[in-house]
Each structure stands twice: as C-alpha cells, then as structure tokens.
C-alpha cells in the first residue's frame, strides 16, 4: 500500500526539524558567548580585586613581616611559648609551641647570643654573648633590666637543670652562679661534644643534639649515653630534605628544635615533625596579620572568591604564602611553600615580580588546589620595588556552575521554542488546511455542476485569492452553461421548426400531386403554401368537395399547431400571421377575398379564432 504524505505532516516534518536545528545552533552560540562573557567577567573581577588588595596592604609593613625568621638560640619559656633569638630581625621572640608562630617581645639588647636559658621562678633570661665569654642577664618583667657578667672561660651553651643554671664546654658541665658569674665544674659530664642540650628539668635525664645535627642523644643522670636515635622526617614529609636543626628546648614533656621552622622530635622514634608548624616562624597572631586577614576574609566572602592571599616569588617554580583569607582546611599558614603548576604560571609570576604588571591566568590545574583561575597584582613599596604579590583565585566549579545555569537557561529557552514551534506549526497547518479543505469541497461541488455553491475564503490572502478565482470560475461555468442551454434550446426549436416546415411542405406537395392526379379535384387543387416569420399560410382555390377541404384544413391545422408550438408562443398569433403578409389580409388591404378561394389562417385553440 502506497503511503501518502499530507500537507500537515509535511509542515511538521519541515518546520520542527528546522526549528530544532536553529535552537541547537542558537544554544551553542549562546553557550559559547555566555561562557566567554563569564570568563571575561571573572578576569576583570579578579584583576580588580587583586589590584585593590595590592593598594590596600601596607607594602613596608608587609615587607617587614614577610622576612622569615632565623632562630639561632632556643629555650623553654612561659606557659605556652618558647623563647628564641631571631638573627635576621635581631629581636627576642615568643614562639607558640602549638603552631610555631613567633611574635617579637622586644629588640635584642646588645650582641647576638649563641645559647639561652630561662628561669621561670625569677622570670630571668640568660644568654651567652661575646662568643660564649659573657653571660647576659635579661629581666622579662616590667623593668626589662639587663646586665652582663664575664665568665671565667669560654662556654658552648647554657641550660637549666633542677632549677639551676648550667653551662657546658665540650664534654664538661658547670654550675653557674647568676649573681657573680662564677662557674663550678661538676663531676658528671657529657659523653661527647654536642650542638645543643636540653634538660628534662631534673638531673635524671637530658637530651642533646649531636654535632652533625642528625641524631638525638639520651643522656642519663650520670652523664652516660643511654641511647642514640637517628633523626628522620615524618612519613608525610618523606619527600623533603631533612632540615638543619640549630637548638633544642624541653617543655611540657616534649622536645622542640629550631630550624627553618619550629620542629617537634619524638624521643623514641626520632621522627622530626615540621608540617604542623608555621614555616619561617610566621605568626598569625601578629598585629599586622590579624589586621589584614580579616580584610581578606571579608573581601573573599563579598566577592564570592575561592582564595584571596598574598605571596612572595622565590624563583623557579617556588612561592610561599604570607597573608591568606581562606578559612578551614584549605587555609595556608604564613610562610608555607607551594609550587607553580606550569610554565605560564611561572611566566606570570615573573611578569608581576619583575615588570610590575598585573596578570590573569587561564584555567590551571594545581596539584593541591584543583582547577583555578588566578590573578596577580604587584605590591610595591615607596621605593618602587615589588615586595610581594596580591592574588585572587576562583575555583572552576564556580565558573562551571555559572555556565551550567547559562546552559540550563539555553535549554529552557530551546525547549520553550520547540513547544512554541510545535504549537505554531499546528496552528499554521490548521489555518492552511481548513480553508484548503473548504476550497477542495467547493471545487468538487463546482465540478459536480453546483456553480452557485458558497466558497469559504479563509483568513489568508492566498486562500482568499484562490476562493475568488474559484468563484469566478463557477460564475463563468454557470454563465457558459446558461448560454449553452439557451443555444441548445434555440437549436432544438430551429430544428423542430425546420423539420415541421419541411414536413408541411412535403405534405402540401404530396397533397397537391395527389389532387392533380385526381380527375375530380384536378382543377380545384391548385394553390401554394407560404411560411413567414410569425405564421403559416395556405392559399388555394376552393375545393368543390367540402370533405376534402375539411380534411385538408384539419391536417394543415395540426401541422401548423406543431410548427407554432416549436417556434414559440405569441400574444396574438392570427393577427401576427395576417400582419406579416398584408397582401393576404383582406381587412388591411380593403379587398375582399377572391371568390371561391381559401385564405385561412390556422385556427389554434387559445390563440384566437378565425372565421370558418
């Protein structure tokens, strides 16, 4: 069975796919445009934020804060802090035992110390200065009084044991009088020279760092080596190099060591933990950090950023963070190092650091932070030098979320377009098919001969024009049919008239021949038959036989009636007949009819009567 394709189906199959393709193309263009617009908007947003941060932050204060501290001497301190000497800043530090952050207590008075010890009972700090030949006494109470004593010989370090000040020189141990500086050698010494020594707080046990800094020595109360434990980094930092440790401090049952950052040492396993402490002894409790951290947090939240920070470019692919406005597990401690992910990021950091130009990156994959889009702006001091870089990052998930909403909007609009297209297609199909069906039915009625049938014009100009054309066609066909009918009727009447006239003539001729052949009527059968426009006439001499004349009149009457009926009705046939031939009308001519002649119009019932 051969399938047929309707006009409505054709419209739906043409318009719906076309609109679908247009919707997909439009959606792709909108998605690409929206994505580019979103990325360009984030670029401008990130650049503006990083630029504002660079202007907001005090460059000189940031420069002073960002210098890593080098703790050359370390000792036990107050309840929650250790004391250390910063060789870079030449200041006395209070180092937090929990995170390794350091804050300045006061500038260091005098020469740099090589070793320190703290007496909690008197709140007095002791330090070796002048290459170990002098003892500096610093009161950490409100007076901050300082004094110095000359030692009888050069000492290598100081430590507290059983509440008393001790000094060491090589393998010997001395008790030191803090009032006079007198040193008295003790019977017990050290098993070997050490780099630094920290006492447990009693004479029973002490811990020492070997000269090469690679082992922790357990020394009992008799000065004998109880155990040597090799130092190694904890497992999660096994990929890094072992830091060089400088000094030891014993506090709250734990051993701490100074190096690039504060480190904790497990006395049993020798594991050195550094990841829990701030690199470079940067403190988040520093007034500078507290002031700007809140500003960075507020900026990050207000701008819906992922990260907001400052960093220092170290060269190569290394940076370290200073300020960080991130909260939670992603928060970076000040001084923590990181690697730039690719060559473009290195180029961008160099661009900002050396050319002092702002820079915004493409979407980059960071090993720790994931996919980010970053911007950087130089923090320039009064001398015009770049001291640090202000950065602002947004996670790609935020960009994807924005783009996803744009896609949803495009899909929603596209689906709406498809629904609207289907609805419009149906409406168009119905609006076209309904008048076409009506026109088809009207054409069939016209083809059937109903030329006067009403034709629906429809709402469109095309269907109205087609309806008018069909109407004109119907009118012309009706007019032509009427003309044909009239022509056929006239032709039929003419044929009948001609046939009857010929029959009448034939009859007359036959009758005349028959009368001439008859001897009885040979003399009285002469005459003629004349047929005019409005009548039929017979003119002949009177027949001697009345019967023959009556029969002749009867036959002529029948033929004339038929002839007149075929020719059409008239108001007064006899008068018209006589008026058509005045010479044959005695009344009009004023001449009596010839004697013995028959001049008789055909007598038709209903058309008037003639005298017999």
221-267 confidence digits (pLDDT tens): 888 888 999 998 876 544 567 888 989 998 888 899 999 889 999 88
Cβ neighbours, 10 Å, residue 571 = 8
Distance of CA 62 to the CA centre of its chain: 41
DSSP 8-state class, residue 192: S
What band does 577 get if pLDDT is binned at 50, 70 and 90?
very low
The pLDDT tens digits of the residues spanning 198-209 come to: 887 665 788 999
Q: Residue 5: is its pLDDT beyond 70? A: no
Mean pLDDT across the stretch 344-358? 91
Segment (H or E) for 226: strand 225-230
The pLDDT of residue 506 is: 67
> What is the average pLDDT value for the chain, to the nearest integer?
77
Confidence class for position 183, pLDDT limits 50, 70, 90: very high
User: What pLDDT, on a 0 to 100 scale, did the predictor assign at position 15?
Assistant: 67
> In which band, very low, low, confident or very high, does the pLDDT at 141 lie, cut at 50, 70 and 90?
confident
Q: Strands of 307-315's sheet, edge to edge?
A: 337-339, 318-324, 307-315, 386-395, 370-380, 359-366
Relative to beta strand 91-96, strand 124-129 is: unpaired
* Local confidence band at 571 (pLDDT 50, 70, 90 cut-offs): very low
Residues sharing a CB contact under 8 Å with residue 484, sequence separation 6 or more, in sequence order: none
Residue bearing the bigger pLDDT, 290 or 78: 290
Tell me the pLDDT tens digit for each residue of 439-486.
777 777 777 777 666 666 666 676 677 777 777 877 777 788 788 888
In 3D space, the residue among 94, 84, 62 whose CA is nearest the CA of residue 248 turns out to be 84
Mean pLDDT of 363-387: 85
- Please, what is the end-to-end C-alpha distance for the chain in angstroms? 82
pTM of the model: 0.59
Grouping H, G, I as helix, E, B as strand and the rest as coil, residue 590 is: coil
């Amino acid at each position: 069975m051969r399938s047929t394709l309707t006009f409505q189906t054709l419209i739906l199959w043409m318009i719906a796919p076309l609109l679908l393709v247009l919707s997909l193309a439009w959606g792709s263009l909108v998605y690409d445009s929206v994505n580019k617009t979103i990325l360009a908007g984030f670029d401008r947003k990130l650049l503006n934020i990083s630029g504002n941060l660079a202007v907001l932050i005090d460059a000189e204060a940031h420069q002073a804060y960002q210098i890593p501290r080098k703790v050359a001497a370390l000792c036990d301190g107050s309840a929650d802090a250790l004391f250390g000497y910063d060789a870079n800043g030449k200041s006395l530090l209070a180092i937090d035992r929990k995170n390794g952050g350091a804050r300045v207590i006061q500038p260091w008075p005098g020469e740099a110390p090589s070793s320190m010890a703290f007496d909690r009972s008197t709140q007095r700090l002791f330090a070796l200065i002048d290459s170990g030949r002098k003892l500096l006494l610093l009161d950490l109470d409100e007076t901050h009084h300082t004094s110095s004593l000359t030692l009888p010989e050069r000492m290598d370090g100081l430590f507290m044991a059983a509440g008393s000040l001790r000094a060491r020189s090589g393998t010997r141990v001395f008790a030191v009088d803090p009032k006079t500086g007198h040193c008295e050698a003790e019977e017990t010494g050290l098993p070997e020279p050490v780099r630094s020594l920290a006492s447990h707080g009693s004479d029973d046990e002490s811990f020492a760092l070997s000269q090469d800094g690679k082992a922790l020595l357990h020394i009992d109360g008799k000065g004998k080596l109880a155990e040597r434990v090799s130092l190694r980094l904890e497992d999660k930092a096994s990929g890094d190099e072992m830091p060089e440790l400088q000094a030891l401090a014993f506090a709250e049952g734990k051993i701490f060591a100074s190096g690039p950052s504060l480190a904790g040492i497990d006395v049993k396993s020798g594991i050195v933990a550094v990841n829990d402490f701030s690199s470079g002894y940067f403190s988040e409790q520093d007034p500078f950090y507290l002031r700007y951290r809140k500003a960075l947090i507020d900026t990050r939240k207000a701008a819906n950023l992922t990260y907001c920070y400052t960093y220092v470019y170290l060269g190569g692919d290394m940076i370290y963070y200073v300020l960080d406005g991130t909260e939670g597990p992603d928060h970076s401690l000040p001084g923590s190092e990181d690697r730039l992910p690719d060559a473009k990021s290195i180029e961008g950091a160099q661009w900002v650091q050396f050319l002092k130009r702002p820079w915004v990156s493409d979407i980059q994959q960071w090993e720790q932070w994931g996919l980010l889009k970053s911007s950087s702006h130089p923090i320039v001091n009064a001398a015009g030098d770049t001291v640090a870089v202000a950065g602002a990052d947004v996670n790609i998930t935020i960009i994807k979320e924005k783009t996803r909403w744009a896609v949803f909007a495009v899909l929603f609009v596209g689906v709406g377009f498809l629904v609207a297209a289907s609805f419009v297609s149906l409406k168009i199909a119905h609006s076209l098919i309904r008048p076409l069906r009506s026109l088809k039915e009207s054409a069939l009625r016209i083809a059937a001969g109903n030329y006067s049938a009403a034709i629906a014009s429809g709402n469109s100009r095309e269907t109205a024009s087609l309806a008018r054309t069909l109407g004109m066609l119907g009118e012309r066909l009706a007019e032509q049919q009427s003309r044909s009918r009239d022509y056929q009727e006239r032709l039929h009447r003419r044929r009948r008239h001609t046939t009857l006239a010929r029959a009448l003539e034939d009859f007359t001729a036959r009758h005349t021949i028959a009368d001439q052949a008859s001897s009885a009527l040979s003399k009285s059968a002469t005459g003629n038959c004349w047929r005019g426009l409005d009548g039929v006439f017979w003119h002949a001499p009177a027949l001697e036989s009345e019967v023959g004349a009556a029969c002749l009149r009867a036959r002529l009457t029948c033929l004339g009636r038929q002839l007149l009926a075929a020719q059409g009705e008239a108001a007064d046939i006899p008068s018209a007949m006589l008026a058509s031939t005045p010479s044959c009308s005695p009344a009009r001519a004023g001449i009596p009819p010839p004697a013995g002649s028959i001049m008789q119009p055909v007598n038709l019932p209903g058309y008037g009567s003639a005298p017999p």
